[in-house]
Amino acid sequence: MFLKKVKAGALQYVLVISVLIAIIVFAFIALIYLQRRVQLKNSFYKEAIENVQFGFDFISQNDVPYNTPQEQQFSNNELEKTTLLKDHWGVFNKVTVTSTVKNENFQKTGLIGGNNIKRDALYLKDNNQPLVLVGDTKITGDVALPERGVKGGNISGTSYYGKQLIFGNQKLSSATLPSIDNLEYIKGLIQKRYLNDEVISFELEEGVQKRQSFSQPTAVFQESESIYLRNVQLQGNIIIHSNKSIVVDATSLLEDVILIAPVVKIKRNVIGSFQVLATKKIEVARGCKLKYPSALVLFSNEKLEINPPEENSIAINENCDIKGVVLFHQEKGSNYKSQLVISKNTTITGEVYCNQNLELLGSVYGSVYASSFITKHFGSVYINTVFNGVINVNKLPEQYCGLQIGNSTQKVAKWLY
């Protein structure tokens, strides 16, 4: 038997081919492994996203305590951990849902409000007086009225022009307005109960631009004197608090922030989306556009004197467009003065709540809760009378979320960053 010599070059060639084949096989195995890891990673991340959505669905149907992290299991995966945290943010709630599946994490924060598909156009407290409609007043939607009902009236020769009194169903109201769930918190917020170890201070001056994420501590600016907001851009998790007053100029851009002061004045043509909490007066000048979800809130426990020089009030002037909540709440008011005025050619899309006298000259596309209406004309005062006011609940978007009243469900009004 003859042995044939193999050249060294051929052996080298075979060795190189073998190494290349081994590298290719190894790379192929590594690629498959990497693809499986990526697929598993994406699967975990997708599951975390789904769990966050399940968390917000859970919030809408279940009562979750404030400021207490609550863990929920939304899948059979033992690697899942989903935490729900509910807190207040003005008249709304703020909910953060965080889900972790193994090493994958997803978090989302939403501004939560009360949602009620079967809401009334008007709830008028029973004060033993009928509701009187005059002029071009039109109320569209179901209503809750005093036992004495509703009738057409006449002011200075102007009668009620409608074909029918109420364009909807009627039911009886009670001697009290429906309660707002978080009214005590609003009171505490005005009294600086937001101050804790989790807030941080910042300097506010003309020209400042600040964006504070809701995943960060609340940024707070406090001033004992009046604050004039001019040429500033403030967005996010920010509270501005003055012991005297706050004036908002049209050169300012505010989004999601909260303003707290005894008196807040919003000057002409301001555009923004923010919440105002006051104890004495809110003035909104002509041409302002407050985007959803904004809120104008006046809350006071102070009982008025018999003849005070000036009463607590919210005054919204002409040609304004406000989307959100307008709330006036006070222990005692005057029988012959209006505590909340919505001027003509002004539209509120959302909810108006007034436990004193409401003068409605404009339009509300949504719901009105009022203790009494009042109208002033040619020096005379007409009690429980609406003159040229419009209420139409059918023009309120179904997705609207606002005040937490009664059995309303909790849904997302806006996603926060």
Structural tokens at position 114:
């009360």
Quick one: average pLDDT of 74-79? 83
pLDDT at 306: 45
pLDDT at 175: 95
Give the CA dihedral 241, 246, 252, 258, nearest 10 degrees.
40
From first CA to last CA, the distance across the chain in angstroms is 83
pLDDT at 3: 54
CA dist., res. 105 & res. 98, Å (int): 7
* Secondary structure, 3-state, the chain: CCCCCCCHHHHHHHHHHHHHHHHHHHHHHHHHHHHHHHHHHHHHHHHHHHHHHHHHHHHHHCCCCECCCEEECCCCCCCEEEEEEEEEECCEEEEEEEEEECCEEEEEEEEEEEECCCCCCEEECCCCCCEEEEECCEEECCEEECCCCEEECEECCEEECCCCCCECCEEECCCCCCCECCHHHHHHHHCCCCCCCCEEECCCCCCCEEEECCCCCEEEEEECCCEEECCCEEEECEEEEECCEEEECCCCEEEEEEEEEEEEEECCCCEEEEEEEEEEEEEECCCCEEEEEEEEEEEECCCCCCCCCCCCEEEECCCCEEEEEEEEEECCCCCCCCCEEECCCCEEEEEEEEEEEEEECCEEEEEEEEEEEEEEECCEEEECEEECCEEEHHHCCCCCCECCECCCEEEEEEEEC
Lowest mean pLDDT among 69-83, 92-106, 318-332, 350-364: 69-83
Structural tokens at position 296:
């104008």
Quick one: average pLDDT of 195-206? 85
CA dist., res. 417 & res. 404, Å (int): 23
pLDDT exceeds 70 at position 304: no
pLDDT exceeds 70 at position 7: no
Lowest mean pLDDT among 72-86, 120-134, 299-313, 381-395: 299-313
User: 354-384: per-residue pLDDT in tens?
Assistant: 999 999 999 999 999 999 999 988 788 999 9
Cα torsion angle, 314, 93, 291, 374, sign = negative
pLDDT exceeds 60 at position 398: yes
pLDDT exceeds 80 at position 334: no
pLDDT at 193: 72
pLDDT exceeds 60 at position 142: yes
pLDDT at 310: 67
User: 16-62: per-residue pLDDT in tens?
Assistant: 788 888 888 888 787 777 777 667 667 778 888 999 999 999 998 88
CA dist., res. 401 & res. 248, Å (int): 25
Cα torsion angle, 69, 49, 399, 270, sign = positive
Each domain of the chain, given as residue ranges in start order, spans 9-115, 122-397
